[in-house]
Amino acid sequence: MHIKSYNINVACFCNENFTKSLEELKSFFGFNLISKNIDDEDLKANKFHAIITDLDNNKKKFIHDTNIPKILIQKDIQGSKPKESFGLIAKLPLNVVQFNQDVIDVCKKHEFNKNSLIKIKDYTLDKNARILIKENTKLQVTEKEIIFIEMLYSSQKPLSRNYILKNIWNYSSETDTHTVETHIYRLRQKIKKKFEDNNFIKNSKDGYSL
């Protein structure tokens, strides 16, 4: 049976017997199962995409505090900790094919969500949901506005009007000079009305910045 392989590293913190069983099944996994020589620095350095655990180890608190999906293995799901604490709860005995696919899906979903969120000042830009968030307040933004905000955030220097025209709104430099100003003014007004923030987008003689 051909198993599609992904560049996904999964750390295993389970009891010795179960770890050995998983090691014997490695050839059926599309992810890289790593169960040896794992230290806290490896976890802090984001070398892993998920953790498989039965919580029968001395790293319980550290595992819970790690911001990657936790996959809980247990015989009885009844009485388990809240499901939202884990990306996946797998009940023994495992269906190896389903378990493999579930682990991959959990990791890919986490990476997708992580890449869609950008922290900007006190805000979070959710590119997937197309919303700008500050605390519990949310503002719906357009795809072009997301591209504009992300480009300002990524730039080390202010962006000129011509650069914004060409790279965000796909206009030529001969376009009416008020085109950029109009788009940015509308976005600024939306942000001001929703968050009472006049300084999210700044403008200077060199261009626009956050």
- On whether both 102 and 24 belong to a single domain, the answer is yes
Q: How far apart are CA 72 and CA 113, in angstroms?
A: 21
Domain end, chosen from 94, 113, 132, is at 113
What's the pLDDT score for residue 82?
A: 43
Instruction: Report how far residue 77's alpha carbon sits from residue 91's, in angstroms, rounded to the nearest whole number.
Output: 7
Q: Are 49 and 111 spatial neighbours (Cβ–Cβ below 8 Å)?
A: yes
Pairing of strands 207-209, 50-53: unpaired
74 and 138 both lie in a single domain: no
Poorest-pLDDT segment among 84-88, 121-125, 206-210: 84-88
| Residue 121 resides in a domain | yes
Helix 143-154 to helix 178-195 angle (10° resolution) is 90
pLDDT of residue 5 exceeding 90, the answer is no
Distance CA 96, CA 82 (A): 24
Q: What is the pLDDT of residue 175?
A: 54
Final residue belonging to a domain, choices 88, 113, 138: 113
Q: Is 141 exposed, middle or buried (0-12, 13-18, 19+ CB in 10 A)?
A: buried
Q: Residue 53 carries which side chain, given as an amino acid letter?
A: T
Report, as an integer, the average pLDDT of 7-18. 90
What domain count does the chain have? 2
State phi, psi for 120 to the nearest 5 degrees.
-130, 110
159: domain CATH number is: 1.10.10.10
In a domain, 1, yes or no: no
Domain end marker among 79, 96, 113: 113
Candidates 96, 107, 108; CA nearest to 22 is 96
- Looking at the structure, do residues 27 and 104 belong to the same domain, yes or no? yes
Rounded to an integer, the average pLDDT of 29-45 is 83
Please give the mean pLDDT across all residues of the chain.
Answer: 84
Same domain, 104 and 159: no
Q: In whole angstroms, how far apart are CA 85 and each of 42, 58, 68, 182?
A: 21, 18, 11, 45
Structure tokens at 19: 């770890």
Asked if 109 and 13 sit in the same domain, the reply is yes
Instruction: Please write the tens of the pLDDT for every residue from 180-200.
Output: 788 889 999 999 999 999 999
Amino acid identity of residue 116, one-letter, is S
Please report the beta strands in the chain, taking only residues with DSSP state E, as ranges in sequence order: 9-13, 32-34, 50-53, 70-74, 88-91, 117-120, 123-126, 131-134, 137-140, 202-204, 207-209
Residue 58 phi/psi, 5° resolution?
A: -95, 15
Task: Dump pLDDT digits (tens) for 128-151.
Answer: 889 999 998 999 999 989 999 999
Which SS3 state, helix, strand or coil, does residue 58 take? Answer: coil
The domain containing residue 57 runs over which residues? 9-113
- Considering the domain architecture, whether residues 75 and 34 belong to the same structural domain is answered as yes
**Predicted confidence (pLDDT) per residue in 78-120, tens digit:** 555 544 467 788 888 889 999 999 999 999 988 887 888 899 9
Residues 129 and 77 in one domain: no
What mean pLDDT is predicted for residues 163-174? Answer: 72
